[in-house]
A and B are shown apart, each in its own frame.
Chain A
């Protein structure tokens, strides 16, 4: 029977040891990330098929996106992955102040990403470059923009993919706040810090998805010297 006098802080009752608990949590998160790959995978499939079908539309559509803003967001996320990795490192050393510091930096960077995304989306809505406008605008008897249907296909793919990604960022920031709260309360020690690492896996994953999205959506036909 479990010896309650020897209760290890942070160890759930159905686990035999901290190692088992950590292993279970880590495998669990990797499996969950695998489901996320399959989830986003459906959209990547749609992207592949429609880009092959409508190369011009995708080229033109990609020109509508701002490479500087997208590039900034890419750098922001990569740096946030670095700060997250540092946070994991300090959690394993049991250094609470540094842990909280790097978690805060990660939070700020994640928020910057979302703010930039907001401005990008707002600009699209302003120019009627959002799919729903084309069918729901009863006053228009011609398409609200001069762009043809192929560009519209690109745009709904852009919104679905980046929208789903942004949703995962929002969820990630929510979870990050939970981790920060736990860190603030001093829950993480040298012995028990796996939630930080496991959350880190999720954060890195959301970053990696963006690293695929950025070139596929923003950099179609992009040439370094010759401009877009």
Chain B
């Protein structure tokens, strides 16, 4: 029968995973899908390291006294937590793993524009990461991930220069990935795939790549200047030698603010895909969502001063930055409304990816709106450098970016590996993560508003109840994060085999086998319809035909 033949063909089919088995074929691969997996593996390790630091922070903060570690050690712990999580997990996360894997597939291309540059970008990332691991093993850095001089340039006795070199190198990985993606999207779309037929995941990655390409060089020169300041004392940021420490803050935040949009925009791209496919409805206001990604990217470069309201920056500059910060929230809100409108009257399935997508909408809204609290000048004077800020950015970075990453990982897991993850465990861990996350970070809004400063390891006893809730939540969150590692690994061997399109989703990536062959498609895809047109999905047409046949029979 036809089905038997097909099953046999699937068994013996070569795909990008079994095409070659040697270590060399993985470490010298030019296949974007394998490079995506190399990144997935490495960033998971760095996430674990960052998570260990987070656990140490939460353990210390159970008690008001600074009793688990000295203040100096605590400084190193929260610094390394931030550095590992931001530079070695969040910034690469979705673009380097899901982006690398999916972009050529979604475009109907054989690979990215510059496959060798893609591999180089992973190696550059690993060199930077190894240098940071050496920094950790030499005692880490204690300046905060923000590296403000004069502490970082003159007084700190930690490995600031080495950390700076590491970040300088890692930045190139980000630049090369962004460059690769932009050129790929411009030049390698399949015939008929015009810009406004692209999946919103692609639009999101285009906007992200724009930020990576324009912003990262600025942190590079900033960190280089800091290195020269520290080693040669040339006086860029040292007032005694004619320099200005606030100049560092301007240069640093000129990149680091757009950097947070590098972290969130890809996640928003994932959410667009998840919601469309899990409600089987095309995204409401496609053009608005596409343009909003670009708007966030552009506006995001104009708001860096909102990190510096209390830095002695001009009050008038502060007003301008505050106003533009309110403006940059608008495109994000537009997306949120459009996603909600997409779900309305859709055919909703509550599989794990959808649970993550719904969690994203709620948590990102809270995170985004608390950002507006901080954008108000008067409020920020009270809230700056408190736990309110910490809670805000964890809501957007964990509740937003990481939730989107996990949702995408689950959604595209069958495509990447050819196996389904166990749905029940997916839902359980999504629920644990949601509960754990909120229990960890919501109390931090409260304790921050009450006045608890950030980066302190000791605090007044009145705050303890909130910290205990937070640490309890963190333990739950840790369990929630560990579970997917376990069941996803389990699924590689024991998971149910997935067909081409287990979700009956729309998108070119679902029109090839799971896992795809090395060259992505065995034919040249040609596009003649918009994104999210479910009538064109083969599996949906077949199901509809079967339904019709049953009814007429």
Contact = CB atoms under 8 A, between A and B. Distances in A.
Interface in B410-456: none
A24 B183 contact: yes
B213 A35 contact: yes
Contact of A149 (B187, B217, B241, B251): B241
A82 interface: no
Interface string B151-194: 00000000000000000000000010001101110111000000
A88 to B, nearest CB: 21
Interface in B71-98: none
B312 to A, nearest CB: 15
B493 to A, nearest CB: 31
A42 B226 CA distance: 12
A12 B183 CA distance: 15
Nearest to B182: A31
Interface residues of B, number: 40
B13 interface: no
B247 A49 contact: yes
Given A31-B179, A153-B235, A39 B187 contact: no
Nearest to A153: B242
A38 B218 contact: yes
Interface stretch (B2-10, B57-65, B107-115, B467-475): B107-115
B242 A149 contact: yes
B235 A156 contact: yes
Contacts of A16: 188
Nearest to B233: A135
Contact of B217 (A13, A39, A46): A39
Contacts of A28: 113-114, 179-180, 183
A24 B235 contact: no
A41 B235 CA distance: 19
Contact of A150 (B182, B186, B220, B242): B242
Contact of B232 (A23, A42, A135, A153): A135
Nearest to B115: A14
A27 B522 contact: no
A24 B114 contact: yes
Interface in A136-152: 136, 149-150, 152
A45 B235 contact: no
B522 A1 contact: yes
A125 interface: no
Contacts of B247: 46, 49
A16 B234 CA distance: 52
Contacts of A27: 182-183, 186-187
Contacts of A49: 244, 247
Interface in A26-53: 27-28, 31-32, 34-36, 38-43, 45-46, 49-50, 53
Interface residues of A, number: 40
A156 B243 CA distance: 11
Interface in B232-271: 232-236, 241-244, 247, 251
A46 B242 CA distance: 12
Nearest to B251: A42
A132 B115 contact: no
A20 interface: yes
B208 interface: no
A150 B235 CA distance: 10
A131 interface: yes
B243 to A, nearest CB: 7
A129 B374 CA distance: 46
Nearest to B30: A14
A218 B389 CA distance: 46
A54 interface: yes
B232 A46 contact: no
B332 interface: no
A153 B519 CA distance: 55
Contacts of A160: 225, 228, 234
Given A1-B522, A14-B110, A54-B242, A152 B235 contact: yes
Contacts of B233: 131-132, 134-135
B232 A20 contact: no
Contact of B187 (A23, A35, A153): A23
Contacts of A38: 214-215, 217-218
Contacts of A50: 242
B342 interface: no
Contacts of A43: 221, 225
A152 B242 contact: yes
The 8 closest A-B pairs by CB, nearest first: A42-B221, A39-B217, A14-B111, A156-B234, A38-B217, A131-B234, A14-B110, A24-B113
9 contacts: A14-B111, A24-B114, A27-B187, A28-B179, A39-B217, A45-B251, A131-B235, A156-B228, A156-B235
